[in-house]
Amino acid sequence: MKITVTINNQLLERDVAPDLMLIDFLRENGYLSVKRGCETTNCGLCTVHLDGQSVLSCSVLAVRAHEKSITTLEGLQKEAEAIGDFIAKEGADQCGYCSPGLIMNIISMERDFLKDNRNEIDAQEIKTYLAGNLCRCTGYMGHLRAIANYLRTKGVKITGSLPENTALEPDKALRSVVKSPIKKDSKALTSGKPVYTDDLAPKNALIVKLLPSPYASALIESIDTSKALALPGIACVLTYKDVPNKRFTTACQAYPEPSLYDRLILENRLRYVGDPVAIVAGENEKVVEKALKLIKVNYQVLTPVLDVNTSKDNKILVHPEEDTVGHNDFFPSDIKRNLVFSGSEEHGNVEAELKGCDYVIERTYHTLQNSQTAMEPFTTFTNLDPYGRLVITSSTQTPFHIRRIIANALDIPKSQVKVIKPRIGGGFGSKQTSVSEMYPAIVTLKTGRPAKIFYTRKECFEIGSPRHEMKITVKIGATKDGKIKAIDLYTLSNTGAYNEHGSCTVGLSGTKSLSLYGRIPAQKFSFDVVYTNKVSSGAYRGFGATQGIFAVESAIDELAKEMSIAPDVLRENNMLTLGGGVPMYYNEPINSSSLDKCLEKAKTLINWEEKYPAKEINGKIRAVGLSMAMQGSGITGIDAASAEVKLTDHGKYLLNLGAADIGTGADTILAQIAAETLMCDIEDIVVSSLSGVDTDIAPYDAGAYASSTTYITGMAVFKSCEALLAHMVGQAAKKMEVKEAEVDFDGKSFIAKTPEGEKQLSLFELGYESGGGSIEVMNASKSHSSPVSPPPFMVGAVEIELDPNTGKVEILDYVGVLDCGTPINPNLVRIQAEGGIAQGIGMALYEDVRYDKKGKMLNNTFMTYKIPTRLDLGTVRVYIEPSYEPTGPFGAKSAGEIVINNPSPAIANALANAGVRLRSLPMTPEKILAELKKNK
């Protein structure tokens, strides 16, 4: 059908299919600011204006835009810049993937609100208007601060409850760190530039889709692809017969991977509902969808193992094959028992200590899978370069690991693969597994053509890499004087169909929870990780620590109650202190901690003394609860990163990074560290990774995981800059014909005080001289790995309101106080924390992955798996309580993961103070009411 539309004031005439949606029409015509985040009209990412009104372009037919006017963010660049600037100042642009849709809706909100010349707007109205715009990075508080500031410039007064500005005062002694410059990619992101994987994919790329297994466990008896292949427009249909018969792992871990090599790209054994049966590639989505329906498969349906409790030593094996092997002796497995990994460690004598305790409790806690739901779905495109090498452009946290994994998967030399990481629309750990890369990669190898896969939201849920389900039993004992003597913790972890991150996450469930009380006399940690026929679990922010801390921090409150002692006092008596090796924390020392101050401050801010434990107000119960948390900063002795810094021939710097900024602002933070070291402004530094990490060019970096980028890569940057400074001073001395020791550098000029008088050489001169050949070209590259993983600490305190008639919980006030060492960029730290807390609140209250009896996932869309909207979080307040970590860049530790660990136990403890102790997540209104009824 012919349609005539006006897009951003330009008339466009096109022939469109009657079922073409506006989002596809717009993206096909180059309006790439319009993003896709779901198929169920829930996310708001595709918001555009149709005749001036915000609409979801995913549910408007292109034909319905006939003779209408459409506006995308490309047509509102001035407004985008004005609003984007305020968002950027809060660090609230983050990954930016939801920014265009959000800004489109802010613009329409502004028009709606201001058309009647209103001069007062309530914060609640703003939240309500924008509730249909989901964001997973920021936790929404930064958006609200930014929008309020923006509207104030229009003369509008903002009333109602606004998140207070908790920003740290900048440190005057420092030039570029403990400062909050806006992210270097801010303008590109908030103006909707095409910087994400799908935006960059070649238009002629084959569309790749997967045929999912309908069964949790089955064997393919026969598969007939002939009808699908015969469809015009289908380039290839691949089955297990077409893939290398060599097992590998998709866990993005340093080699030798802790994970077993237990999977093939496709296999005739299917291990969970969704496990890919076939790969189809064709010219467009429609024909590929059609082809999927034409593949005939005969399945031999097998009985699955679905229950984490009965997997170990079950006679049914998830991996009966003989060729699954491990490469890392530290992670022994026994797959003939469905056991991926098991072990135990004890420090002190737990049994003896418990015998001497006046109080001993034992409780079991249960956490479910959770989905990270990065707003950008898993996306990859691949092509062969003119020299026959495979180029993978992908939304990944770990470009260097992807190179190895895909080479393994395809059984080709690693030198034949290069990986490009563009801007990423959020990860939260999900993209630390190579979820989507292998499928287009093998299509490109087979067909020689570019190929692209873009996961549906349903696929992100069903075949992604969610958090591990864990059942954790805590036995804990204390004496009358309030001293905890021993904790015994056992974790049963469900890794799902493949090993992946199962062997690693389980460790953190013990080490990062028990070490919060790391100086008590005795601790024991034992664990089993089992296979089941469910989607394989991966890495999700917190990485096992989240689950362990939910258990231990709940148990501490339960013990306190048993002892009739206040839970804050019990923590104060027993918390981890500064000092030498902590046995359960790999015997590492604690050189920096303000945990005690964090607790004190959180109590003050939530008004603990007055509010603890609970009060009844108008038939509702208001209660407070708190929890402590820790994490690590990189993996001790394993995480490695390098950086390269060059003096350019115009006297500025180029910082070449392999670190993966996935929306956190890492590129900017690392530039700040470089600027501080080089005594320049961050504007003087071009960061190569801003326009993408290319594994051919970038220095090696393990990637964005284990809370390592600021701490590990940051030190690599610092060391590289120091080395460059030395090189520059040497060359400056040579040029000025003075001794090196006589040269001083102030960031702009080299000054030599010689017996003959003062000589000077500007940085600019040094730069162009290096380009002219009279001195050396100056650059430096250093790597870093740390013998310790200093823990950041955090305390969360929450006030909830419980409706005892419905079980519904409202978050009234949430306070997070964080010790991340030195906050390099306080605004970005704060936004990480606010975002992590929001995810934690979702996990605590409603993020609920459920399966039917046959192992089919039931919560597999944004309609059924609910993540917090901006109306669900009350007020979240984050404060930084710095310490100084001597092994980190300018005293920094990590911040990215720890921030998700507090909400679940803090809310559980608040609920207990309101009368309901729940030990399984999520704590839905239904579970709460059932418990209240039991107690009656």
- Shortest distance, CB of residue 148 to other proteins, whole angstroms? 19
924 lines the binding site for other proteins (CB under 8 A)? yes
For other proteins, which stretch binds (CB under 8 A), given 42-50, 183-191, 648-656, 814-822? 42-50
- Shortest distance, CB of residue 91 to other proteins, whole angstroms? 24
Nearer to other proteins, 91 or 377 (CB): 377
- Shortest distance, CB of residue 841 to other proteins, whole angstroms? 10
Return phi, psi of residue 740, to 5°.
-55, -40
Burial class of residue 266 in the structure, from the number of CB atoms within 10 Å of its CB (0-12 exposed, 13-18 middle, 19+ buried) = buried
Nearer to other proteins, 282 or 807 (CB): 807
- Rounded to an integer, what distance in angstroms lies between the CA atom of residue 120 and that of residue 833? 30
Nearer to other proteins, 54 or 591 (CB): 54
871 lines the binding site for other proteins (CB under 8 A)? yes
**In the set 872, 881, 885, 897, which binds other proteins (CB under 8 A)?**
872
480 lines the binding site for other proteins (CB under 8 A)? no
- Rounded to an integer, what distance in angstroms lies between the CA atom of residue 560 and that of residue 892? 34
Residues 779-798 interacting with other proteins (rule: CB under 8 A):
none
**In the set 313, 726, 850, 886, which binds other proteins (CB under 8 A)?**
850
Site string for other proteins, 819-848 (x = CB under 8 A): --------------------------xx--
Query: Is residue 608 within 8 Å of residue 637, measured between CB atoms?
Result: no
Nearer to other proteins, 227 or 808 (CB): 808
**In the set 111, 286, 480, 739, which binds other proteins (CB under 8 A)?**
286
Burial class of residue 116 in the structure, from the number of CB atoms within 10 Å of its CB (0-12 exposed, 13-18 middle, 19+ buried) = exposed
Peptide bond into 18 cis (omega under 30): no
- Shortest distance, CB of residue 503 to other proteins, whole angstroms? 32
**In the set 37, 44, 510, 703, which binds other proteins (CB under 8 A)?**
44
930 lines the binding site for other proteins (CB under 8 A)? yes
**Residue 683: strand pairing partners:** none
Quickly tell me which residue has 């260097």 as its tokens. 400
- Shortest distance, CB of residue 911 to other proteins, whole angstroms? 16
Q: Which residues contact 591 (CB under 8 A, 6 or more apart)?
A: 578, 788, 790, 885, 886, 887
118 lines the binding site for other proteins (CB under 8 A)? no
Nearer to other proteins, 65 or 252 (CB): 65
21 lines the binding site for other proteins (CB under 8 A)? yes
For other proteins, which stretch binds (CB under 8 A), given 33-41, 391-399, 599-607, 750-758? 33-41
808 lines the binding site for other proteins (CB under 8 A)? yes
- Shortest distance, CB of residue 622 to other proteins, whole angstroms? 18
Query: Is residue 840 within 8 Å of residue 832, measured between CB atoms?
Result: no
For other proteins, which stretch binds (CB under 8 A), given 45-53, 179-187, 584-592, 703-711? 45-53
**In the set 131, 316, 697, 775, which binds other proteins (CB under 8 A)?**
131
111 lines the binding site for other proteins (CB under 8 A)? no
**In the set 5, 60, 95, 306, which binds other proteins (CB under 8 A)?**
60
**In the set 416, 864, 875, 920, which binds other proteins (CB under 8 A)?**
864
Nearer to other proteins, 849 or 895 (CB): 849
SS3 readout for 409-473:
HHCCCHHHEEEEECECCCCCCHHHECCCCHHHHHHHHHHCCCEEEECCHHHHHHCCCCCCEEEEE
**In the set 4, 19, 325, 411, which binds other proteins (CB under 8 A)?**
19
- Rounded to an integer, what distance in angstroms lies between the CA atom of residue 526 and that of residue 339? 14
Encoded tokens for 927: 């579970």
- Shortest distance, CB of residue 632 to other proteins, whole angstroms? 32
868 lines the binding site for other proteins (CB under 8 A)? yes
- Rounded to an integer, what distance in angstroms lies between the CA atom of residue 673 and that of residue 671? 5
- Rounded to an integer, what distance in angstroms lies between the CA atom of residue 87 and that of residue 100? 12
For other proteins, which stretch binds (CB under 8 A), given 312-320, 428-436, 498-506, 801-809? 801-809
DSSP string, 845-897: HT----B-TTS-BS--STTTS----TTSS-EEEEEE-----TTSGGGB---TT
80 lines the binding site for other proteins (CB under 8 A)? no
Q: Is 867 left (phi over 0), alpha (psi -120 to 50) or beta?
A: beta
907 lines the binding site for other proteins (CB under 8 A)? no
Which of helix, strand or coil describes residue 319? coil
**Cα–Cα distance list, 356 to 479, 518, 556 (Å):** 8, 19, 18
Query: Is residue 639 within 8 Å of residue 809, measured between CB atoms?
Result: no
Number of residues lying near other proteins (CB under 8 A): 55
CA-closest candidate to residue 606, choices 901, 922, 896, 874: 874
- Rounded to an integer, what distance in angstroms lies between the CA atom of residue 751 and that of residue 749? 6
Quickly tell me which residue has 């100086």 as its tokens. 519
Binding residues for other proteins, per CB under 8 A? Answer: 1, 18-19, 21, 39-42, 44, 47, 50, 53-56, 58-61, 63-64, 105, 108-109, 128-133, 286, 803, 805-808, 845-846, 850, 858-859, 863-864, 866-869, 871-872, 924-926, 929-930, 933
